[in-house]
């Protein structure tokens, strides 16, 4: 046995003494001095009896001395560590108090009252208050501001309204230049700046807001705050309780608005008053080109924010981040190119919203959904009148809304080609009749036109009848569902109109594939929404950039599925024709049209010869895609708004029903074309509904050569658009234009002053709608059947639909329509 075993152990273990006082231990006890660690002595294990007792004693003494020495060393290093700890603690406390001081100084300066108490703290004569005390005294506030209830929002001290509104309005009104900036509240602010501000404001920090150089972000914050309020500033429910119809509001406007205002609680009232006063200041400042009407249009969706929920089917927000990154990279190039801004001079004489160098009006349409885009277009029309320009990277679109311009455009051979926006649509429906140009369009239109001859349309009427009857049975079942009050009619009508197109134009039995048809209508809905997004967002308008997004993959998938649907129809029709021929006699076979007594448009395409050659499978598919899309979505939109107007005007509905009773009696009848043609009042009602809600609200062409429109030089490559919606609602062409009055069309065409180009729901000229008669007969047949079975009502009397235009005009949310059985 080693006699030094015990000592050797004690020597090899000095580090163990520090075990209880590691660095980790030091940092863990910020609050106070750590307790003194125990000193462990490693006594030698009992020595062997082989060692002499005196020798053993001497060894022990030696050992003891060594330990004492070690202990002293450790005590010294302990007290030096203790000293360091105290120093660090002091430094930590000094830093913390400096931080709190900064925080307090900031909130003191923002409140502009430097109290004596704070002065004492500043001079270090008084200890500062801790965080919870500051919160109790309302100096530090951490409540949320956005996406919350009004009562929970941080309030300004005076007046007692949300602080965010107060601060934004102060910023806008304290800077005279801000109020004069054109397009205030219409032009969207920088998305990223707004989002960053949102976080600051939620933490009650307003410094950056006050330093903004452009007012658009400040307006953006106001709009964002109002839109995100969980309880809107003015609720639509309250409106509908007080104002039962628009007529009632019109006849008694002042009293009704006062009643509504009086019903608001104090907080809402004060906030609304403050906001309205500010908006009046904006409207009274002529330089910003924003009148009360435009402001009303833009702000109403924020103040009554309920209707805007879930109307953006594409995830715009996420994808905007990527575009903004690209946007920043382009920034440098843009600045250089801005030096060569000469192109902008081309249309100097045409008014339009303020444009940025190089990018033009791009920013106004970024990051906004279809509802806001449509509202912006209306506001622009109201501001600039019958002609204005839009500029996307020097790609100009001149937007007209006068009959003179319509005539000049639709009769000009150099303005016959569809604009570049339609190219995006052609990625889906190909280069069919709607999109094609020049000789291709001409030869196709010639071949297809006989397919819409009235003799052929006459054959379709029994099919309209049958499908409308089935539709009424479906409505009845839906209306009987327990707990259901209103029926969202647009999707149902899409299924009906698609079924009719499949059966009549394509000659296949629509009842076989109802699930496929329902799927197809949803595909069309999503594709339209993506296409519309691409039209107004210049970044995704560029193919290469669009291909970088995940939406492009979704787009391709949807297009493939849509083609499967139409190819399947073509195969089916081919098979039906082959089966018919197989059972025919040799003589009958010689007759090309044998067995096709109900000749479908698809048969016209299958039999067509252009320059002696039949159409290829791709040619046929693109026309089938075109007609399936153009023939169902438009008519469903027209029918939806027609039923809404009929429900909203019971007097019109009564007169329609009387006309039906006079012509056919109360029982359901098998309609014919001549019976439908007799319904004169119904013609007027449909016309008026298409005036107020034209399913295709805007059409656009491109100049293939330099030309002129109403004396204005239009250079090659410029787009010209016709805003049909705006023209149909212009006071200049229609008396009291927002009023639904079918009788306004009685004898209108006979008057000398009426210009037929004023009313163009089906467009005009050589590229007008080939299916307009088809659509009119279909709408009349369906309306007769619906009114024979039901009385149509609104479940919310004063309801006005919010509109969006994803190629076709649509209600942004389901309409509150109720169908009550007549007998």
Binding site membership for heme: which residues? Answer: 769
Least gap, CB of 683 to ligand HEM (angstroms): 13
Euclidean distance between CA atoms 307 and 812, whole angstroms: 8
Instruction: State which residue, 577 or 637, has the beta carbon closest to ligand HEM.
Output: 637
Name residue 387's beta-bridge partners.
400
Pick the closer one to ligand HEM by CB: 320 or 500.
500
CB of 817 to ligand HEM, least distance (A): 18
Contacts of 165 (CB under 8 A, 6+ apart): 156, 222, 225, 271, 274, 275
- Measured from the CB atom, the residue of 275 and 775 that comes closer to ligand HEM is 775
Q: For 356-403, list the strands marked E by DSSP.
A: 387-392, 395-400
748: its two tokens: 């209108």
**Which CB sits closer to ligand HEM, 229 or 461?**
461
Residue of 720, 396, 448, 474 whose CA lies nearest to 608: 448
* Minimum distance, C-beta of residue 758 to ligand HEM, in the bound complex (Å): 15
Minimum distance, C-beta of residue 642 to ligand HEM, in the bound complex (Å): 9
Q: What is the largest CA-CA distance in the chain?
A: 142
Beta carbon nearer to ligand HEM, 475 or 505: 505
In whole angstroms, how large is the CA radius of gyration of the chain? Answer: 38
- The residue among 100 and 525 lying less far from ligand HEM, judged by its C-beta, is 525
Q: Which residues bind ligand HEM (CB under 6 A)?
A: 418, 433-434, 445, 505, 626-627, 630-631, 634-635, 638, 695-696, 699, 761-763, 767, 769-771, 774-775
Write out the binding residues: 769
If one counts every other C-beta atom within 10 angstroms of the C-beta of residue 783, the result is 22
Q: Which residue is nearest to ligand HEM (CB)?
A: 771
The length of the chain in residues reads: 823
The 10 Å Cβ neighbour count of residue 433 is: 21
Residue 435 CB partners (closer than 8 Å, separation 6+): 418, 422, 423, 425, 426, 429, 626
For residue 583, give the 3-state DSSP assignment.
coil
Question: Could you tell me the two tokens for 638?
Answer: 């027209």
CA distance linking residue 728 with residue 356, whole number of Å: 31
State CA 549 to chain mean position distance: 17
CB of 754 to ligand HEM, least distance (A): 20
Alpha carbon 136 to its chain's center: 41
Nearest to 818 by CA among 639, 643, 633, 641: 643
CB of 633 to ligand HEM, least distance (A): 9
Q: Identify which of 485, 563, 418 has the alpha carbon closest to the alpha carbon of residue 816.
A: 485
Shortest Å, Cβ 699 to ligand HEM: 4
Q: Which residue has the tokens 């000229």?
A: 765
Shortest distance, position 628 Cβ to ligand HEM, whole Å: 9
| Nearer residue to ligand HEM within complex by CB, 327 or 627 | 627
Our CB check for ligand HEM shows the closer of 194 and 505 to be 505
Are the C-beta atoms of residues 175 and 219 closer than 8 Å to each other? no
Dist CA 378 CA 616 (whole Å): 42
As a whole number of angstroms, the distance between CA 727 and CA 381 comes to 9
Nearer to ligand HEM, 316 or 532 (CB): 532
- Closest contact distance (angstroms) between CB of 638 and ligand HEM is 4
Separation CA 455–CA 604 (nearest Å): 14
């Amino acid at each position: 046995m080693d006699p030094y075993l015990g000592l050797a152990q004690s020597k090899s273990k000095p580090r163990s003494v520090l075990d209880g006082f590691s660095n980790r231990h030091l940092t863990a006890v910020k609050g106070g001095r750590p307790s003194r660690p125990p000193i462990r002595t490693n006594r030698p294990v009992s020595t062997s009896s082989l060692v002499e007792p005196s020798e053993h004693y001497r060894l022990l003494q030696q050992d003891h001395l060594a330990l004492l020495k070690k202990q002293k060393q450790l005590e010294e290093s302990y007290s030096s560590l203790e000293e360091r700890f105290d120093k660090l603690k002091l430094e930590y406390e000094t830093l913390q108090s400096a931080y709190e001081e900064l925080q307090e100084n900031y909130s003191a300066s923002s409140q502009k009252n430097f109290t004596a108490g704070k002065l004492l703290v500043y001079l270090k004569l008084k200890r500062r208050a801790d965080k919870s005390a500051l919160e109790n005294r309302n100096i530090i506030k951490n409540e949320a501001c956005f996406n919350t209830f009004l009562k929970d929002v941080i309030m300004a001290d005076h007046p007692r309204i949300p602080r965010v509104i107060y601060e934004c309005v102060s910023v806008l009104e304290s800077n005279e230049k801000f109020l004069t900036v054109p397009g205030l509240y219409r032009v969207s602010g920088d998305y990223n700046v707004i989002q960053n501000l949102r976080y600051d404001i939620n933490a009650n920090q307003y410094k950056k807001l006050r330093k903004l150089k452009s007012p658009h972000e400040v307006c953006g914050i106001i709009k964002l705050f109002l839109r995100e309020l969980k309880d809107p500033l003015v609720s639509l429910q309250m409106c509908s309780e007080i104002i039962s119809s628009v007529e009632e509001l019109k006849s008694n406007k002042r009293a009704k608005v006062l009643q509504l205002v009086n019903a608001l609680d104090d907080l809402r009232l004060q906030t609304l008053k403050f906001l309205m006063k500010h908006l009046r200041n904006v409207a009274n400042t002529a330089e910003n080109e924003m009148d009360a009407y435009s402001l009303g249009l833009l702000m109403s969706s924020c103040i009554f924010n309920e209707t805007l929920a879930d109307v953006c089917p594409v995830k715009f927000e996420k994808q905007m981040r990527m575009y903004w990154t690209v946007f920043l990279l382009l920034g440098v190039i843009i600045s250089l190119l801005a030096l060569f801004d000469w192109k902008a001079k081309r249309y100097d004489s045409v008014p339009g919203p303020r444009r940025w160098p190089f990018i033009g009006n791009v920013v106004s349409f970024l990051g906004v959904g279809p509802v806001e885009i449509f509202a912006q277009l209306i506001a622009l029309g109201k501001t600039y009148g019958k002609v204005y320009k839009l500029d996307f990277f020097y790609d100009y679109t001149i937007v007209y809304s006068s009959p003179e311009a319509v005539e000049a455009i639709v009769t000009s051979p150099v303005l016959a080609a569809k604009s570049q926006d339609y190219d995006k649509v052609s990625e889906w429906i190909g280069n069919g009749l709607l999109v094609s140009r020049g000789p291709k369009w001409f030869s196709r239109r010639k071949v297809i036109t006989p397919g819409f001859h009235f003799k052929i349309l006459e054959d379709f009427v029994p099919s309209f009848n049958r499908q409308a009857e089935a539709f009424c049975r479906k409505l009845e079942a839906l209306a009987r569902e327990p707990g259901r009050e209103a029926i969202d009619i647009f999707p149902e009508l899409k299924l009906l109109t698609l079924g009719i197109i499949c059966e009549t134009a394509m000659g296949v039995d629509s009842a076989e594939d109802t699930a496929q048809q329902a799927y197809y209508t949803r595909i069309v809905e999503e594709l339209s929404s993506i296409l519309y997004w691409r039209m107004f967002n210049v970044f995704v308008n560029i193919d290469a950039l669009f291909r970088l997004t995940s939406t492009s993959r979704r787009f391709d998938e949807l297009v493939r599925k849509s083609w499967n649907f139409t190819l399947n129809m073509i195969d089916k029709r081919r098979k039906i024709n082959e089966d018919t021929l197989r059972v025919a006699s040799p003589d009958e076979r010689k007759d090309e049209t044998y067995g096709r007594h109900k000749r479908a448009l698809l048969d016209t395409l299958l039999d067509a010869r252009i320059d002696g050659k039949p159409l290829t499978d791709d040619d046929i598919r693109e026309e089938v895609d075109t007609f399936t899309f153009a023939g169902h979505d438009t008519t469903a939109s027209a029918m939806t708004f027609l039923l809404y107007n009929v429900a909203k005007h019971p007097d019109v509905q009564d007169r329609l029903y009387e006309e039906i009773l006079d012509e056919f009696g109360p029982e359901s009848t098998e309609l014919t074309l001549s019976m439908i043609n007799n319904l004169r009042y119904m013609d007027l009602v449909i016309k008026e509904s298409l005036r107020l809600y034209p399913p295709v609200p805007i059409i656009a062409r491109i100049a293939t050569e330099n030309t002129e429109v109403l004396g204005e030089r239009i250079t090659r490559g410029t787009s010209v658009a016709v805003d049909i919606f705006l023209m149909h609602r212009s006071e200049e062409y229609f008396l009291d234009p927002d009023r639904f009055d079918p009788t306004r069309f009685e004898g209108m065409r006979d008057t000398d002053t009426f210009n037929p180009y004023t009313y163009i729901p089906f467009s005009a000229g050589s590229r007008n709608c080939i299916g307009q008669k088809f659509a009119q007969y279909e709408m009349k047949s369906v309306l007769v059947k619906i009114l024979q079975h039901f009385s149509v009502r609104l479940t919310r009397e004063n309801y006005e639909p919010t509109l969006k235009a994803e190629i076709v005009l649509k209600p942004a949310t389901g309409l509150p329509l109720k169908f009550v059985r007549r007998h």
